[in-house]
Amino acid sequence: MRYFEVFLTRPFKQCSEHLETGMLRKIKPRVRLFQKALPDSGGMKVTCLATGFYPRHINMTLFRDGQPLDSHQITGGELLPNGDGTYQMRKSLEVSTDDLKENYQYTCKAEHLSLDNRLDIPLDYEPYPGQKHVVVVLLIALVCLTVVIIIFVFVFCRKRCMANNRCLRIHQGRKKCLDEGEQGPSSEHTLLGSSSSQSVEVQRRIEHQRPQDISTPATAEQGPDTPAQNGGHHAAGEQQRQTKQTKKDTCSG
């Protein structure tokens, strides 16, 4: 008798323990309300998804501006198992383009044994269909415009710098040329003056060495310059002025 009692009562106890554990096991659902664009109709599909809950019974309701939606407007609602022993359920609503213009507020409410209070889930905001593409295009255009502006500023500054350097070199060359033109005649005048003084000194020495029987006084020979000498000095000065003017014209050109 004891042998049969052991083999009969032990499985019964194990089964009752598993049943009690399963009945007491409660896992809260993860609920999310999101939207997805419908390219064909241009509308949106609003979906409420609850997953990872246990036990399997759950109550989900979609609301629009605080009003529950009729069951014929809702698709889905099937209870599906997950691989870890929990369950999932989703309900969806197709929103037309006209309803999108009304800017309705959609919410999802879930009730489960693991929840002390009812969950109120707001809609996860996503841009209106086509707005994503517009935002991407605007960002690309902004980046391209920035690159073009940077390149234009770089090229403009480089050309301006090169022009300034060229003008500076031209100005320095003209200034040097003018300085040389001003210094040239003065040096030539100095050389002419020194050579004339040397010739006068030589002439005086020759006169002192002449015989005393020269009837013409020395003072008369050392008198003022003759017209020929004055003409030579005048021609030399004219040539110096022409040379200076030629250098100035060359520098200004």
| Partners of 80 in the β-ladder | 88
Domain boundaries defined on the chain? 23-126, 130-185+246-253
Domain 23-126 listed as CATH 2.60.40.10: yes
Helices (H), 87-226: 97-101, 131-209, 218-221
Per-residue pLDDT of the chain (253 residues; tens, 9 = 90+): 455 454 555 655 555 554 444 556 899 999 999 999 998 888 999 999 999 999 999 999 999 999 999 989 999 999 999 999 999 999 999 999 888 888 899 999 999 999 888 889 998 755 444 455 667 788 899 999 999 999 989 888 888 888 888 777 776 776 776 666 555 555 555 545 555 566 666 667 766 665 544 444 444 444 455 544 455 555 666 766 766 666 556 555 5
Residues 6 or more apart in contact with residue 180 via CB below 8 angstroms:
247
Helices (H), 91-130: 97-101
**pLDDT of amino acid 217:** 45
Which DSSP letter does residue 116 get?
S
Rg over CA atoms, the chain: 57
**Rounded Cα gap, residues 27 and 50, in angstroms:** 12
User: What pairing do the DSSP bridges indicate for beta strands 106-112 and 67-68?
Assistant: unpaired
**Rounded Cα gap, residues 3 and 101, in angstroms:** 77
At 106, is the secondary structure helix, strand, or coil? strand
